[in-house]
Structures are given as C-alpha cells and as structure tokens.
Amino acid sequence: MPLVPLRPLLEATITHGFGQGAFNVNAVAQAKAAIEVHEMFRSPAILQGADLANGFMGGRTDFMNATLEDKKIGARNIAAAVKKYGEHSNIPIVLHLDHGRDFDSCVAAIEGGYTSVMIDGSALSFEENVELTREVVKYAHPRGVSVEGELGVLAGVEDHVFSASSTYTNPMKAVEFFQKTGVDALAISYGTMHGASKGKDVKLRKEIAIAIRECLNHQKIFGALVSHGSSTVPKYIVDEINAMGGELSNTHGISIAELKAAIPAGISKINVDTDIRLAVTRNLKELFEKYPDKRKSGSIGEIYNLLETKKNQFDPRVFLPPIMDTVMYGTAADQDTVDVVDCIERGVREVVGTLIVEFGSVGKAPLVECVTLEEMAERYKTI
C-alpha cells in the first residue's frame, strides 16, 4: 500500500490503547530491515529520518554541516528506499521527519516524499514556537502530511539537538499549543533524555502525560503525545561492545517497564534511535572480531580502522562513510560489503522486533485506517 500519514496511526493508538515505536533509519539497509520486522509482527510502522540523517543520506558524511540541498537529496533517497520495500507491503508505513530544524527542512522532507514531519521549536519562546509550528501545519496539512511539534526541553544530545537540562512540559500550555497550532502530535518533556546517558533508574513523570490527555479529552481536542529520547540502551549490548575494545561509559537508558507504563498514561508514539545505533555497532565489531582477514579488505577495511580509532563512539554514521553508495542506495560491491549490510539489518531487527512486542503493536496493523495523502488532505479541511 502507499505510505500513509501519521494521523490515522495515532488515532488507532488512542482508540485501541497501544504504544507505537518510531525508529530512526540512516541507511537503505536499515529501512529495509525495519519494514521487514514490522511485517513479520503485522505491526504498523513509523520509520523516521532525522533532519541531519537526511543530510547524511544526501552524501554529507560530515552531516552536522549538512546544507539544505544535502537534506533534499537525502530525503529523496530515504523516501525511495522506504517506498521500494514498503509500497507493496500489507502494513501501513509512515515516513516521518524527526527534529525538523526549521520550516525549510520540513518542506524539503515533504517534497522528498515524507508523509509526516516534526518541527522542533522547543528552544524558542512559547509564542515563537506556536508561530513556527502553525506555519508548518499550514503548509503540510493541505498536502495530507501530518505534523508533530515539541513543547518543553529534553536534556541530552541528538544530532543538532542539545540541552544541558530539561524543562518539563506545562500541561495547560500543551493544550493551548494544540489549540493554536492544529498539530496532530506533541513531543513532551516528562523525564526522558536524548542520547545514551540518561541517568540511572529514571522515573518518568507520567502525571504530566495524564494531565495533558485528560485536558485534551475534556476539550474534545485530538492530540497524540510523543515520547522522545526513549531508547532503553540495553546493557548487554554496551557490555558486548566494551568487551571487544569499546570505550562506552555512563550509558543508561529508560527502562522498558517505565516506557510501557507511560502508554496507558497517554503516550502514543515512542521514539528510539540509540538502541539501533548500539546494536549495529556491536555487530560491526563482531564481524571484524570473527573474521580478522576482513580488517584488510579493500572495500570495508577502513570501517574497521574507524571502529578502532573511535572506540568511545557508537553512531554507525561515524563508521560507514567508506561505503556511502551502500548506505545511500543499497548497492553492495562485493561479499564483504554484503556482510556489513547483514550486520546493519540484524541490528535493526534485534532492537525493533523486541520493542514492537514490548510496546504492544503486534498484530495492530489492521486497526489502522489506510488513508492516502490526498484523502488525508480532504479530511484536514474538515478537522
């Protein structure tokens, strides 16, 4: 089926009371594996390309300096991969922009084929955030594209998003934000953090989500709540990386128990990125550990060198530049490259499959109304 906007999937999560994982992808192989594992569990799927992931997929290996043109190219590449492996799928698939930096980044994603975008105005004043988000909604909704905003500041680091401390979301301001912007979803700050260092034994302030959900229900306003910075940072994966020479420290995630308890409190969409990065990096290190001859490979040997010189990092984008054609287009020049692709795909399946089960979206694909962008555009006129 064609890719679908985010709104119908969010409606299903609220009506039927399940949580939906949203998983970041930075390579064709990741998109392929994520779709396949969702199909296996008959779960709807939200695949996310972060703003700077678009830059990386546009060929910008120093993606922190990605230009708008890089992002346009990358958005088309990610969308092409998701459509290739998902357009004839039996499950609904959303392609969502994560942390859109500005209006132009959102437009680039929509023009590239995204069916949903997030505009992150959380660092702005409330009034400025409302104005920016409203402008994105005005552009996106007539095209059938759903919009997520953010209110409140999460601590931690993710691409260009950085804050040393958190500012919790004010429930009354959240309701006002929905009223003034018309967004479909809102990322809230309630105790999660970006990155792999979230602190030990984090307890989420679920009362914030409960208060927002109750107020929205009372006002008869549709709005789904989103949990950013929700990676679980599996200790066993970190330990395996460090056992093979990695130097990861102070790594703590949000417990699965806390995330599962947030779903009945009102959280619909749960963003996960770090877990996938860790699993892929672990698999890459295992490949060179098991097959030391590949360390001298003409096609992938430089990946090994990067793993050895950047032992305190775990983002595969740091290690994969030697095979950018494979990253961007899914091509594989030789068997060594195929082996790397296998590492990437297995890492995605391990993490995503686990969380599909834990969050409760197994078998929920038939509950999502499959709406085209054109149909959603007509529906937005009456909402």
Among all residues, which ones are annotated catalytic? 98
User: Please, what is the angle between helix 126-140 and helix 171-181, to 10°?
Assistant: 40
| 367, 128 contact by CB (below 8 A) | no
| 13, 46 contact by CB (below 8 A) | no
Cβ-Cβ contacts under 8 Å for 232 (sequence gap 6 or more): 253, 254, 255, 256, 259, 272, 275, 355
Three-state SS at 356? helix
Token look-up 């104005």 returns: 131
Torsion of CA 197, 200, 206, 212, to 10 degrees: -20
What is the distance between the alpha carbons of residues 146 and 178, in angstroms, rounded to a whole number?
A: 13
Three-state SS at 116? strand
What is the distance between the alpha carbons of residues 242 and 219, in angstroms, rounded to a whole number?
A: 50
The residues with which 132 forms a beta bridge, in sequence order, are none
